[in-house]
Amino acid sequence: MGTFTMPGNKTEDWKKCSIEMASHPLPDCLKKWHAFSCSDGNGCFKGYNIIYAQPGKADEALMEINRLMLPFCRIKRTTWKLEPLMSAADVFKTLDKT
């Protein structure tokens, strides 16, 4: 999951980056990318991105996600954080192996 924050006065810059990103197909290592956003109530926007990688392609997917997000990160006061997520079933599988 990727999360971002963006100043409210940078929406035009964000829109340009989004249009450019959407004009290209996802790299083969990425299966799906769902983006959600909302206001933080303080004049900024928050975003949540649920990104699915193809099985066995996690390393390549991380590189591609960071490459795709780099233009957004160049917008002043924008932050981006990427965190791997697991389903509850995968967490239980992990716990059983310890």
pTM score, whole prediction: 0.81
Average pLDDT, the chain: 92
Give me the pLDDT at residue 97, please. Answer: 65
Terminal CA-to-CA distance of the chain, rounded, Å? 25
Q: For residue 62, give the 3-state DSSP assignment.
A: helix
Q: Summarize pLDDT for 54-89 with one digit per residue, the tens.
A: 999 999 999 999 999 999 999 999 999 999 888 898
Measured CA to CA, the distance from residue 30 to residue 12 in angstroms comes to 26
